[in-house]
A and B are shown apart, each in its own frame.
Chain A
Amino acid sequence: MKIFVSFIIAALFLLNTAEAQKVFGTRNGQISFSSASDQDVKAVNNEVASRIADNGQITFSLLTKGFKFKLAEMQDHFNDQYVESTKFPRADFKGTLVNLGEVNFSKDGAYKTSVKGDLTLHGVTKNITANGTINIKDGKPSVSCQFILVMKDFNIDAAKVTDKVTVDVSCQYQ
């Protein structure tokens, strides 16, 4: 009897460990954006802090000053006039995987997915949806996705340069 009870408790422990949530993170995620209408608009931020958990939550956080442009003057205008980095130093995203059931974090492979959540930029929070892929390799996920960002939605007045940009997200998690 004693053995039986101990066995049950041990089994429950093991079961429990299997159910513990997995959280993956990175501090060097990459988010870049470019404009289809203006070749010169190209910037990359390689210091994106991001976390993804197997409960479907995914978050991104970056410093707007971390976007590096090829043209120095454009970077100055971006920080000073467009995103106003001194007033709004960070941009954040908090979202959830729409099709969590189709993604198996324990099994290597490529999973097409879609994420929906709140993007806060320039003091404005807007719900966005983005399509992308989660690749699981050796148990570690990497995320890549692309979406269109309309500047006016976030009160960014860059009409003289471009109306919208294509945002590329690429993060490898540990």
Chain B
Amino acid sequence: MIFSKRLLAVLCLGLITQQGFSQQVDLFKMQDSTNAANAKPVNEPVINTFYSTRLVNSQTVEILSPGSMDLRVSHRFSPVNQGIYDMFGLDLASMRLGFDFGIVKDLMVGIGRTSTSKEYDWFVKYRLMHQKTGAGAPLSIDLLGAMAIKTLDFGPSFPATTSDKTYYTAQVLIASKLNNNTSIQVSPTYNRYNRIIGFTGGGLDMFSIGFLARQKISKRVSINAEYFWQVNRFDNTYDPLSIGVDINTGGHVFQLHFTNSTGMNEHTFIHETTSSWTGKNSGIRWGFNISRIFNIGGKKK
């Protein structure tokens, strides 16, 4: 009787301590299983479809973050084929200085001035749809509205009012970041002229479609191409085609390219390009944009 009770006690002791040891926790295993359970596909807005708000001349779907200011300096030189006397075009340059501002989420504005024709321009760009990494938003879609005014006085032999020299642009920017390295964009564009100066043909309402592509070749460098197909065009003008390289250093984006167009705002670079890439009117020129973003808005979000 006593013997079996002792045995019972020893058995219980054995069982209890056995249970005690099997309660040993392993936090490392717990973390692994929690992480595995939490690994679900994320659906977030795609960032950095392009390195900057412009590719070469054309606007991209990128919008500045609220509180940011982008200082943009752009130069377009003269045709390279002018030879060494003009330092392959470097001696003659047109310049645009611009300031872009991120206002609120998905909205930015910008102003600028181009030396050619002493032209002032400004724009508003709004992101209608932001491409997401998961389902629901396969594209980024932006709307752009811009105006430009040439303030150059053409002289007494060519009277022109301010209204004559005012231009309007409306654009829809549709882009897709195909993968981490490749992005494409299509930009149907409408430019409105109040008066056609210096050109024949075309009309006051000008239509075109832009095609943009960016291919990253390293974490900070990409190769870009930009082409606008003009639906209607002025006589003796060509479609603008630009090939460029973006170098993103973190604070600055350097955009270097070759192009046949001289303009740096929508109506000039799309419809007023008088040189082509090949043939007797060829005039390929070098140009660059430098973009530097400053934070002027204090605490973000």
Contacts and interface: CB of A to CB of B under 8 A. Distances in A.
Interface of A: 1-2, 5, 8-9, 12-13, 16, 19-21, 23, 49, 51-53, 55, 57-59, 61, 65, 68-73, 75-77, 79-81, 86, 89-90, 92, 94, 157, 160-161
Given A12-B13, A57-B28, A73-B68, 17 more contacts: A5-B8, A12-B12, A16-B19, A20-B20, A51-B31, A59-B30, A70-B300, A72-B66, A72-B67, A72-B68, A73-B293, A76-B65, A89-B42, A92-B31, A94-B28, A157-B219, A161-B250
Contacts of A20: 20, 23
B128 interface: no
Given A53-B25, A57-B27, A81-B219, A92 B35 contact: yes
Contact of A72 (B16, B24, B28, B65): B65
B65 A57 contact: no
A56 B79 CA distance: 71
Contact of B27 (A79, A80, A90, A94): A94
A161 B19 CA distance: 54
A103 to B, nearest CB: 15
Interface string B47-70: 110000000000000000111100
Nearest to B31: A59
Contacts of B23: 20-21
Contact of B249 (A5, A76, A160): A160
B2 interface: yes
A76 to B, nearest CB: 6
B5 interface: yes
A76 B47 contact: yes
Contacts of A58: 27
A2 B25 contact: no
Contact of A59 (B5, B6, B24, B27): B27
Contacts of A157: 219
A13 B8 CA distance: 15
A73 B9 contact: no
